[in-house]
Structure 1
Amino acid sequence: MTTTWAKPQQPTTEDRRWKALGVCLAAGFISLLDTSIVNVALPSMERGLGATEAAQSWVVSGYALTFGLALVPAGRLGDMRGRRQAFLIGLAVFTVASAACGLAGSPDRLVVFRLIQGAAAGMVAPQTSGLIQQMFQGAERAKAFGLLGSVIGVSTAVGPLAGGVIIDAVGTDDGWRWVFFVNLPIGIAALVAGLRLLPRYPGTADRRERFDPLGVLLLGSGVLALMLPLVQEQQWTGRQKWALMPVGAVLLGLFWVWERRQGRLGRAPLVDLNLFSLRSFTLGALISFSYFAGFTTVFFVLALFLQNAAGYSALAAGVTVLPFAVASAVGAALGGRLVVRHGRVLVVIGLAGVAVGLLGIIAVVRLVPLEHFGWAAAVPMIIGGIGSGITVSPNTTLTLTLVPVKRAGAAGGVLQTGQRVGSAAGIAVVGSVYFAQLAHRGPATEALQLGLLTSVGFILVALGLAVADLGERAKAPAAPED
């Protein structure tokens, strides 16, 4: 199969392009690190700031919520007005909000600054994928997305370890503050370098084009209605919260109707619905949603199990998942090099590897004493990590391959919104399974096994989609994708 890659819009020296990519990856690293590093700092917030359980919940879930809400509008803004400007503004706000979080004098202020920080992270993320689309093509683009995949895997998995190291070094009273302060040197350095290195691509839209505020309102409220009961599943008791789900579905349906109307009237929509006519984009987005529903939940239940049941410290729990992070980085770099040659086959292999790795961890839980769990789980962690690496970056590359460069930001926002919603849904489902087993006074080892089996279920859904795509491609006549 031959693939036609969109060419960069503006020539840039090779050395400068890769340095600019480094700036994007640095910003992506700290914004994704903050999705997991805070988890191990919650006890420190309770002790040093007096944060209640509700405040702690919003520190974690509020970031994910505003992150997810900002992605598509921010991606469209970058498409219209220029991704460099949108990237730098988002990074500056994120860095300032990180400092404000660390200096917060009350739980309420911490929550507010955390919400701002999440929205800023959501502004940065789609510009990264859009800039990669603009700066690179062909094998170079696949390599760049491979490096981005490494950052996604490492930042998510290494967060608990980084948080554990910081709190162990600083102490529990003020350790939570330094979990936020660690972003400052990286953020400032990336800002300075970005001002010098990021290419000045003009916005691809007509300057007279409107931003579609009603589309933003419908999409944002729909995603909010879907995500709120998921991210607050443990904190909001009762079944009434699930009534928001059909409300969200209705709002997203109205968003779809409105965007189709915008297209018929010749107005630029917030999301170009023609993207979903691209098989590669639609299938890749579904695989990404299912995969992230299973992938991110692994670290959630493992962190709970290792610290609450196995008696591990935050640092020891972080070290336990380190093999997954390292292997994921290696797998992502490898996947970026091989995806042009092997395509979706690589995603199938990666998803199978993740499933095998998780099943191996379940076997370790059943057969190995808890005091030896960390060492015994290293091999399945490595298998799962390599599988994760050769899933995320190749799937991202394949998903965005045929997306026009002028829509790259919005397309990246849609893809990453699916990842955020998938992560929230996965944590809600897997967390419910895990806590339900504990509530019935079942052994924590059984709760972990059931939680991980649920994660495997999500991974197998993604695997089924990838295998089905291979079957369809095998039946279809060979032809270039235009």
Structure 2
Amino acid sequence: MSSSLANALSGRQRWQAFAVCVSVAALTILDLSKVNVALPSIEKSLGAGPAELQIIVAGYALAFGLALVPAGRLGDLHSRKAMFVVGLSLFMVSSLACAVAPNIEFLMVARIVQGIAAGIQMPQVIGLTQQLFQGEERGRAFGLFGATIGVSTAFGPTLGGLLIAVGGPTDGWRYIFAMNVPLVLILLPFALKLLPAKQERSPGSRELDLVGILILAVATFSVMLPFVLTTGGPDDQPARWYLLILAAIAAAGFVLWERRYKRIGKSPVVHFDLFRKGSYRNGLLIAMAYFAAMPAMFLLTTLFLQQGIGLEPVFAGMVSIPFALSSAVTAWYGGTIVNRVGRKLVVLGIVIVLIGFSLVLLAAELLPADVAIYGMGVGMLVAGTGGGFVISPNQTLTLAEVPVEQGGVAGSMAQLGQRVGTAMGTAAASAAFYATIYSETGQAPQLEVFHDAFRAGFAVTLTLVAVALVLGFLDLGARKRRKRSAQTA
């Protein structure tokens, strides 16, 4: 435990450092969601097709996922503060490159670099939070972290719509990326001043396992790329799914290599002992399923409202505001009670999310177009109330038994699961959405076509939330069995 390092900082210093961390986390998550409303604008401005637009959205998640584990390991071994500053600086440069992109190819490359920068930063945020806080205080910190993530995810489309309204339908999307530059310039001096430079490290070798990192990168890339390339259009190539075979081979090779690396006395990229902890393993799976659904839901909602009903981006984005507000409140509250309530809180949250998004779908289906957005907003309010009980409490429970010196890599593996889930969920839901449009266009009125497409995409996302719920119930059962075994031992 890092009690000595945590206690060396005053409460005020710890919360100031945390404020910097959570602000940067908000920036990286905003770029997962605020770009959604910009896709029609980018399409018109740069002549992008479905494949290019999919890379703009899911390619960011792919790059994010590739960078997470090596960045988390480097932060644990050497300096989380240094890695944080490197990632933040690269995020600013890549955001500027996105803002001035002259063509779609340049934008795609800059967007991928931006995803790498986000992947460098996020493990340091998790690791530093683990390092700075303990016990009930850590629960409150992750509660605020979860509230920030929820608000960022849900407010992203609204913020993106506002920036497009300011910048215009052709070039307003550039403002979405340009806004990151002044924000980073403000945060960078605070990061240099406030983040702790000292940290406890795992005993043993501090050598970086480059072979393990390379094998893991191949596995991650191979499992995510087929989903990134899935648009639901007629140009989708079935051969892309063969990459999943390579992913399975690379994953098996990674496990074998890491075990051998540990046997010879060196420090592996991932300590597989972490996965023997039911709290960590189950929490990771729940988060993966949940994050497969959430970004896809916001993407489908904004696409339906913009392309189906014809709302301006700013108004299409506003439907997620109720989710942002309610999830912020319950995420903070959930962080204060999670240590007492435990996994039941997460299960309750997922149930409420499932109810809320079912209401969103029903409102879109049953209400007239001019009032559907208000009914969908009510559904978002309900879903956000549950969402706040999922992200931050699950984060706290997932990392509860993880040694602090492994906080960065443990957090990065959890984030990797979320990014893989995001790529899979976004691809599956958007493919169902666009495949319906391609198959029905010209055969039915436009609004009816988009209703069918929205229903098809939402069926995918609601199924993913249901998977998260099943995993939550399974974890509850496992915890009860462990508790009975401990009592009888």
**Shorter-normalised TM range:** over 0.9
Give 2:296's aligned residue: 297
| Alignment of structure 1 residues 136-285 onto 2, 5 Å | 136-202=133-199, 204-205=201-202, 209-234=206-231, 237-285=236-284
The whole-number CA distance in structure 1 between the counterparts of 2:205 and 2:463 is 47
After superposition, give the CA deviation of every residue in 1:79-122 in whole Å (9 maximum; x if it has no partner): 00111111111111111221222123333332222221110100
Q: 1:352 is paired with a residue of what secondary structure?
A: helix
2:457 aligned partner, one-letter code: G
The whole-number CA distance in structure 2 between the counterparts of 1:51 and 1:173 is 13
Give 2:389's aligned residue: 390
Q: TM-score, normalised by structure 1?
A: 0.94
Shift of 1:39: 2.3
Taking structure 1 as reference, are residues 12 and 321 closer, same or farther at Cα in structure 2, changes over 3 Å only?
Answer: same
Say which of 20, 31, 34 aligns to 1:37: 34
The whole-number CA distance in structure 1 between the counterparts of 2:471 and 2:260 is 31
| Alignment of structure 1 residues 443-454 onto 2, 5 Å | 443-454=449-460
Give 2:443's aligned residue: none
Contact 1:298 1:452 in 2 (8 A): yes
Shift of 1:365: 2.3
Contact 2:51 2:230 in 1 (8 A): no
Taking structure 1 as reference, are residues 239 and 405 closer, same or farther at Cα in structure 2, changes over 3 Å only?
Answer: same
Bigger mean CA offset, 119-128 vs 195-204: 195-204
Give 1:127's aligned residue: 124
2:5 aligned partner, one-letter code: Q
1:136 aligned partner, one-letter code: F
Deviating above 6 A after TM superposition, structure 1's stretches of 4 or more consecutive aligned residues are none
Give 2:428's aligned residue: 429
The whole-number CA distance in structure 1 between the counterparts of 2:286 and 2:173 is 35
Q: 1:477 is paired with a residue of what secondary structure?
A: helix
Shift of 1:386: 1.2
2:423 aligned partner, one-letter code: A
1:445 aligned partner, one-letter code: H
Give 2:463's aligned residue: 457
Shift of 1:207: 8.9
Bigger mean CA offset, 341-350 vs 194-203: 194-203
Q: 1:35 is paired with a residue of what secondary structure?
A: helix
After superposition, give the CA deviation of every residue in 1:43-81 in whole Å (9 maximum; x if it has no partner): 333444455554433332322211110001000000001
Taking structure 1 as reference, are residues 475 and 51 closer, same or farther at Cα in structure 2, changes over 3 Å only?
Answer: closer
Bigger mean CA offset, 167-176 vs 300-309: 167-176
2:123 aligned with 1:117, yes or no? no
The whole-number CA distance in structure 2 between the counterparts of 1:419 and 1:107 is 27
Taking structure 1 as reference, are residues 207 and 447 closer, same or farther at Cα in structure 2, changes over 3 Å only?
Answer: same
Taking structure 1 as reference, are residues 46 and 440 closer, same or farther at Cα in structure 2, changes over 3 Å only?
Answer: closer
Shift of 1:42: 2.8
Shift of 1:232: 1.3
Q: How big is the alpha-carbon RMSD for the aligned residues of Structure 1 and Structure 2?
A: 1.9
After superposition, give the CA deviation of every residue in 1:388-412 in whole Å (9 maximum; x if it has no partner): 1110000010000111111110001
Say which of 472, 483, 486 aligns to 1:466: 472
2:400 aligned with 1:401, yes or no? yes
Bigger mean CA offset, 97-106 vs 26-35: 97-106
Q: 1:443 is paired with a residue of what secondary structure?
A: helix
2:309 aligned with 1:310, yes or no? yes
1:17 aligned partner, one-letter code: R
The whole-number CA distance in structure 1 between the counterparts of 2:25 and 2:315 is 25
Bigger mean CA offset, 178-187 vs 408-417: 178-187
Bigger mean CA offset, 414-423 vs 89-98: 89-98
Give 2:445's aligned residue: none
Q: 2:390 is paired with a residue of what secondary structure?
A: helix
Give 1:337's aligned residue: 336
Structure 1 portions without partners, runs of 5+: none
Shift of 1:358: 1.2
The whole-number CA distance in structure 2 between the counterparts of 1:207 and 1:52 is 50
Contact 1:344 1:398 in 2 (8 A): yes
Give 2:378's aligned residue: 379
The whole-number CA distance in structure 1 between the counterparts of 2:422 and 2:29 is 13
Q: 2:483 is paired with a residue of what secondary structure?
A: coil
Contact 2:204 2:267 in 1 (8 A): no
Q: TM-score, normalised by structure 2?
A: 0.93
Contact 1:154 1:326 in 2 (8 A): yes
Contact 2:131 2:199 in 1 (8 A): no
The whole-number CA distance in structure 2 between the counterparts of 1:322 and 1:376 is 13
1:384 aligned partner, one-letter code: A
Contact 1:80 1:203 in 2 (8 A): no
After superposition, give the CA deviation of every residue in 1:213-263 in whole Å (9 maximum; x if it has no partner): 111110001100010010110176121111111211111110011111111
The whole-number CA distance in structure 2 between the counterparts of 1:286 and 1:476 is 19
